[in-house]
Structure 1
């Protein structure tokens, strides 16, 4: 005979572990992991960087920019800085030093800005071809110059990033290859020079990804 309260007895078990409490643990599992974990220093730094970039890009895009449009440029910055830093490790292929990748990033962005601008803000885009205060006699020349400078923008974006990545890596490689054929005293100087160059390349990796993202943001702000 069982009484009314026997349904609450811990009767179901697997390997002597009561299953009656499983609902409690299932509930705990549904709470997000971030609720239990303190964010690491890396997470805190990365959150600070992305929030700062978001505020800056929002200012650059201006009040006419769409909500959330900064996230594409933050993602672009993240992708480039990730590839740039990976390229500093030995025997790792530096993808951001090749025009295949940099043009793939720059051309679609610029092309989409142009299509959007010329379809939705044709008058505004035409006004951009003639800078304010240009004498009437120079207007045809200014239109030609502005058109050419606009067309070469994706190329300059791509080449700037690729050239900066190639230059530092070439210098590091050329200096490193001489290490086997020099004396010990000069080798010490070479190692110090290599460490200094690596530090410089780390700074270049950050700066170039930031420059690429900022210029892409500025190009997008012109079409609004």
Structure 2
């Protein structure tokens, strides 16, 4: 029995005070060797097409000078979409719904880009703080606004991913908790609505992974 609605997101399985739920984050590594020795299948073909499409799109966003970095953001997309889908299975911990994980992805990436940009292209980074055509009177305010928007980028990336994953799981939990107290006919409607919500959550898992990777790519393209 849940003590609170948010208890479904709490790590509870442990061994010698070591949380075991976070091990689900690394289960995707077990599937990587399978792609090398198994015979090609339709699912593997579709996944390769998705990866190649994302690789080509990220290369365009990054530009010719940083096109080699696209593999980093493709791997980031693959890692996030795996954890998002894994959280849709029953009794599996959803690590992507926690700020501890999403911030650990966005903050080091943003910090690395900022250090690289300010150390190698400081003049270009200063130029980004003042948009072209800004009046002289508004320049101090624009610098302040652009600085704030730049600083909160890792937070917005992390909160966007975690909030979208939490919202869907909470809705599924709320509807599932009403099952024992409704009539037989309403249970059928409830099951159908749960299936539709699960399909919607599958789409959200892909979309949020894509948004996280694309925004990270756009932030990287501004550094150059």
TM-score tier, shorter chain, comes to 0.7 to 0.9
1:147-186 paired onto structure 2 within 5 Å = 147-186=147-186
Deviation track 1:127-147 (CA, whole Å, cap 9, x = no partner) reads 000011111100000000000
1:74-113 paired onto structure 2 within 5 Å = 74-113=74-113
Partners of 1:114 and 1:88 in 2: CA distance: 34
Deviation track 1:104-138 (CA, whole Å, cap 9, x = no partner) reads 00000000000000000000000000011111100
Change (3 A) 1:40 1:101: same
- 1:140 aligned partner: 140
Pairwise CA RMSD = 1.7
- Structure 2, unmatched stretches of 5+, are 1-34
TM-score, normalising length: structure 2: 0.82
Aligned residues: 191
- 1:7 aligned partner: none
- 2:21 aligned partner: none
2:58 aligned with 1:57, yes or no?
yes
Partners of 2:89 and 2:165 in 1: CA distance: 13
Deviation track 1:158-179 (CA, whole Å, cap 9, x = no partner) reads 0000000000000000100000
- 1:220 aligned partner: 220
- 2:41 aligned partner: 40
Higher radius of gyration, 1 or 2: 1
Contact 2:59 2:68 survives alignment (8 Å): no
- 2:116 aligned partner: 116
Partners of 2:172 and 2:132 in 1: CA distance: 46
The list of structure 1 runs, each at least 4 consecutive aligned residues, that deviate by more than 3 angstroms after superposition, is 34-38
